[in-house]
């Protein structure tokens, strides 16, 4: 990710983080950059927008920038992100632009850039745009006279996209009662038009955008309204979209939420039954629920796991030829039909499975048991550094192993206690029969009491194939001054993970002693006193404090007792 553009484009509060000046410059660059590929210097660029009040402002700014650089701007007006992707890849455009901040509140907005293949724009082009925004590329020439670009009303492109969606349905929806939550966003006319044309009896909510109510207590991020609609009107199914309709969550006939994980499971099984599941794999992300992997294992479906973001899901799919992948949030990619997540296609595909299998959505989702899960966004300054942090890796390993090795016949929960300087993880159970404490703590041997969970965690690279995980936990702390501690009790096993800090509040004597031991290795107290030039009592106090902090250890060799770094 760059300075301005993330995995979902340039996004932020309108005229605060993302300004009209930014939009104008993005248009200027794209018009000039793609114009170089044409003899007449004229690029063709298609633009769509969602229903935010600021979307019109950004549309005019982009158009001004594009035409000032000689490009022709084709306006789809209010439409969905996947429609821009479809039009860009099927109608000979140089690129596409979608003005939307997806599921964010109305005061945010964003610029999503799409290449001629309908995919997210390549990083090298994004990097050049950012250089231009920062003034590193110098001036771009203005088009003049007849070379100034034109603005074209292109609702025909949106209509062709709607026709494409209708062509994907292989069954009539006649007689099926369908609820639609348009989130007061891009799908507010499209979704109803498609489902009505296919014969469904539609019940639509949140389809009255006013520029400030997009995603406001509605859509896929606030699905309670659709649940209430389905229950109140006794509907067969409901579909909720987000602001730009690249996501879709479902509600079954009982009013229960069907998440992106359910959708991946339902359609993955449907593809496998028809021998259409390429590589026998579904692409998921690290946010997917553990229950999804367990359900996949039960039906013999394999899976890949990527970082969060449809960008990474699509990259994995395109590199390996996989046909389905997505996120728990409802961002599902059907690569045979689209190059990005498409909420309306997702809804159509769920309808297809229901009609083909002659089952309700609740029946199709029943084998998938969702496990308790808490997802919380935590703001960090460096995402990669946070994910590679030794504390984090060790904590994941420890908790995963606690689940794998715990005894379930003991009426107690795994306990995780977090302090400012440590994390304590206690798992119910005793050592497996026939395994000594030394063997367990050396991490060389163990017994998987929960092999199904263990197999899933191993495939997700949370744990080692064999052992207790202690070797990997210790390795995570190999460069740390304070090491993990392990305690085996009569009915539980406890792991204490110290928080790795750059400053352990050592006094000058402790720092001097620690540095001497780092340089010289194992030393007697007399040797340490001489090297540090301090008296016996001061040396003993400093060494004992370092032992208490688990930075050094004492090897008892009688009169030759030595101290060394842990």
DSSP string, 179-244: EEE-TTTTTTTHHHHHHHHTT-EEEEES----SS-TTTT-GGGSTHHHHHHHHHHT-SEEEEE-TT
Q: How many CB atoms lie within 10 A of CB 202?
A: 18
Which residue has 């140089």 as its token pair?
94
Q: Tell me the longest C-alpha to C-alpha distance in the chain.
A: 96
Q: Is 102 a catalytic residue?
A: yes
Buried b (16+ CB within 10 A) or exposed e, 336-365: ebbbbbbbbbbbbbbbbbbeeeeeebbebb
Which of these is catalytic: 83, 100, 102, 335? 102
Q: Phi and psi (nearest 5°) for 452? A: -65, -45
Task: Please count the other Cβ atoms lying within 10 Å of the Cβ belonging to residue 244.
Answer: 35
Contacts with 340 (C-beta within 8 Å, 6 or more apart), sequence order: 81, 82, 85, 114, 118, 119, 120, 246, 310, 314, 333
For 29, half-sphere exposure in the C-beta direction (CA atoms, 13 angstrom radius) is: 21
Chain-centroid distance of CA 138 in Å reads 36
| Cα distance between residue 454 and residue 405, in whole Å | 8
Three-class SS of residue 474? helix
End-to-end CA distance of the chain: 39
Angstrom distance (rounded) from CA 470 to CA 186: 51
What's the CA gap between 545 and 539, in Å, rounded? 10
Is residue 410 within 8 Å of 428, Cβ to Cβ? yes
| β-strand partners of 58 | none
**Beta bridge pairs of residue 140:** none
Q: Give CA–CA dist 403/395, Å, rounded.
A: 12
DSSP string, 19-38: -HHHHHHHHHHHHHHHHTTS
Cα separation, 446 vs 431, whole angstroms: 9
**How large is the angle between the packed helices 451-459 and 390-405, nearest 10 degrees?**
150
Q: For residue 266, give the nearest of 286, 255, 252 by alpha carbon.
A: 252
Helix 536-548 and helix 508-520, axial crossing angle in degrees, nearest 10: 80
**Catalytic center residues:** 102
């Amino acid at each position: 990710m760059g300075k301005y553009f993330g995995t979902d484009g340039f996004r932020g509060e309108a005229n605060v983080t993302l300004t009209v000046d930014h939009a104008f410059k993005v248009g200027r660059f794209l018009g000039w950059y793609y114009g170089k590929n044409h003899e007449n210097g004229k690029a063709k660029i298609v633009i769509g927008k969602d229903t935010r009040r600021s979307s019109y402002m950004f549309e005019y700014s982009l158009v001004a920038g594009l035409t000032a650089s000689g490009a022709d701007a084709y306006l789809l007006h209010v439409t969905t992100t996947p429609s821009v992707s479809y039009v860009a890849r099927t109608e000979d455009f140089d690129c596409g632009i979608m003005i939307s901040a997806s599921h964010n509140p109305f005061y945010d907005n964003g610029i999503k850039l799409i290449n001629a293949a309908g995919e997210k724009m390549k990083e090298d082009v994004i990097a050049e745009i950012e250089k231009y925004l920062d003034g590193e590329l110098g001036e771009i020439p203005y088009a003049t006279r007849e070379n100034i670009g034109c603005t074209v009303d292109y609702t025909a492109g949106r209509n062709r996209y709607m026709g494409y969606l209708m062509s994907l349905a292989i069954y009539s929806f006649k007689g099926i009662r369908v609820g639609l939550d348009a989130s007061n966003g891009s799908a507010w006319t499209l979704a109803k038009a498609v489902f009505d044309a296919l014969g469904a009896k539609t019940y639509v909510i949140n389809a009255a955008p006013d520029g400030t109510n997009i995603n406001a207590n509605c859509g896929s991020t606030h699905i309670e309204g659709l649940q209430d609609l389905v229950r109140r009107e006794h509907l067969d199914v409901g579909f909720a979209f987000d602001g730009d309709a690249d996501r879709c969550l479902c509600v079954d006939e009982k009013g229960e939420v069907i998440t992106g994980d359910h959708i991946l499971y339902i359609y993955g099984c449907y593809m496998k039954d028809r021998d259409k599941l390429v590589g026998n794999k579904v692409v998921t992300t690290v946010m997917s629920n553990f229950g999804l992997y367990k359900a996949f294992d039960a039906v013999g479906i394999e899976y890949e796991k990527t970082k969060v973001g449809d960008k990474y899901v699509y990259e994995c799919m395109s590199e390996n030829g996989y046909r389905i992948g997505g996120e728990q949030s409802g961002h599902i990619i059907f690569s045979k039909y689209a190059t990005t997540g498409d909420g309306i296609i997702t809804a159509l595909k769920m309808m297809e499975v229901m009609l083909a299998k002659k089952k309700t959505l609740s029946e199709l989702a029943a084998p998938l048991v969702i496990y308790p899960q808490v997802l919380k966004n935590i703001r960090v300054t460096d995402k990669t550094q946070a994910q590679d942090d030794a504390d984090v890796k060790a904590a994941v390993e420890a908790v995963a192993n606690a689940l794998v090795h715990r005894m379930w016949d003991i009426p107690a929960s795994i306990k995780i206690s977090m302090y400012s300087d440590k994390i304590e993880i206690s798992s119910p159970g005793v050592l497996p029969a026939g395994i000594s404490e030394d063997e367990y703590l050396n991490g060389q041997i163990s017994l998987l009491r929960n092999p199904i969970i263990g197999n899933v965690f191993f495939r997700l690279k949370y744990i080692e194939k064999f052992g207790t995980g202690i070797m990997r936990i210790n390795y995570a702390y190999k460069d740390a001054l304070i090491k993990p501690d392990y305690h085996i009790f009569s009915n539980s096993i406890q792991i204490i993970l110290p928080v790795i800090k750059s400053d352990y509040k050592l006094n000058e004597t402790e720092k001097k002693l620690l540095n001497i031991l780092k340089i010289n290795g194992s030393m007697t107290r007399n040797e340490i006193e001489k090297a540090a030039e301090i008296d016996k009592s001061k040396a003993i106090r400093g060494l004992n404090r370092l032992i208490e902090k688990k930075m050094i250890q004492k090897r008892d060799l009688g009169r030759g007792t030595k101290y060394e770094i842990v």
